[in-house]
Chain A
């Protein structure tokens, strides 16, 4: 098979549509073709999003079976890197040590292998972007009932509702009476300098930019309060080029409903 053909195969490969023998040939070609490897990676991310269309909530029996199975299933050890590493404190690696240089909020292998005890917790939690407990609203000043700022209004509002993100850490406190939402962003990995987290409010499928999140982009926690508009029912975070974007770049990496 000619090299030109192999270049064309990335599409079929990403879709899982190559027979095994051809897939093996492409795999071999990828070793020497950087552009093909990059194209395939981009295609795979694209194809993964196709699954959003067919998402379907499974029966509860699936959860029970899966959780029962993993309880009695050993895990494969990581592929070890030969260099020895100094011991690190066995603290909660996920929260305190986010990855520094990855596009997809995932802890790289080389940082896990040093800490076998926390290995899977770190790995799995990183896969879902953080994984710790939701941080409540106790960071907010709830003392001043005559508050004037949106922050204080939200914190004191009788109708405030706290929601947790679909996955990961942080929380959203929404107060319809204030027309504002306080978003607590925690546990997101820091981003390279040329990228930033951007916060959006979504009214159905209509996005509106709320703000960039410079602190969160540097791996810190960040608390922001923003006015909301009628009809908005979701807040979401995406990764954007530095300076932000007029519309969200998919995928959405973090999202929480406004109100219960």
Chain B
């Protein structure tokens, strides 16, 4: 029984190695503060651990499950009233430990990253801007509309059209 537990944790550690850079990187991009990003990443991995048995492959890949969770938790963090207070408290600690984890897969292959960048480049400026604000900045579409002074339905259409173009450019199976 103990060996099984060890095996499980070893398996989980492999998952951590495969996803840590993406999870931490996205959290960092959204919440910005490295300490808070680290806390969000902790929450995400803990939730993956707790909910692993309920992951439903029929509804999408593990990657999309994990990244959807990461995005949601990061946005929650930004929006929580607590965040501002925490941020002040954490700033002092931010520089205490910044040695990076060499075991974690450094990044996606250059190929995959380049493909995403190239495909983002095929969007219209407005599509790219809207998607970037929504995803990497964690804004709702209403906030995006406010920022870009565009009508709400226009933003929705832009987000959807932009994703269709991205999806087809990246060759994501549908």
Task: Report which residue of B9, B52, B54 has the largest number of chain A beta carbons within 10 angstroms of its beta carbon.
Answer: B52
Residues of chain B with a CB closer than 8 A to A45's CB:
60-61, 63-64, 167, 172-173
Alpha-carbon distance between A69 and B9 when the two chains are bound, in angstroms? 11
Contact A251 B112 (CB under 8 A): yes
Interface range on chain B: under 10, 10 to 19, 20 to 34, or 35 or more?
A: 35 or more
Set of chain B residues within 8 Å of A158, measured between Cβ atoms: none
The size bracket of the interface on A is: 35 or more
Asked if A58 contacts B55 (CB within 8 A), the reply is: no
Stretch at the interface among A76-84, A146-154, A214-222: A76-84
Contacts of B142 in A (CB 8 A): 19
Chain B positions within 8 Å of A50 at CB level: 116, 131, 135-136, 166
B113 / chain A contacts, CB cutoff of 8 Å: 52-53, 55
- Cα A193 to Cα B70 in complex, Å, equals 34
Inside 8 A of B21's CB, which chain A residues have their CB?
A: 55-58
Q: In the complex, are the beta carbons of B20 and A76 less than 8 A apart?
A: no
Q: Is B162 in contact with A11, judged by CB distance below 8 angstroms?
A: yes
Q: List 16 A-B contacts (CB under 8 A).
A: A15-B141, A16-B72, A44-B64, A45-B172, A46-B167, A48-B66, A58-B23, A58-B104, A60-B100, A63-B104, A65-B38, A67-B16, A69-B42, A109-B57, A234-B111, A249-B173
Residues of B that sit less than 8 Å from A by CB: 1, 4, 7-18, 20-26, 28-29, 34, 37-38, 41-42, 45-46, 49-64, 66-68, 70-72, 75, 97-117, 120, 131, 134-136, 138-142, 144, 153, 155-164, 166-167, 170-174
Which residues does A use to contact B, with CB under 8 Å?
Answer: 5, 8-12, 14-19, 38-39, 41-63, 65-67, 69-71, 73-79, 94, 99, 102-104, 106-109, 112-113, 117-121, 123-128, 131, 166-167, 202, 204-205, 207, 234, 236, 239, 248-252, 255
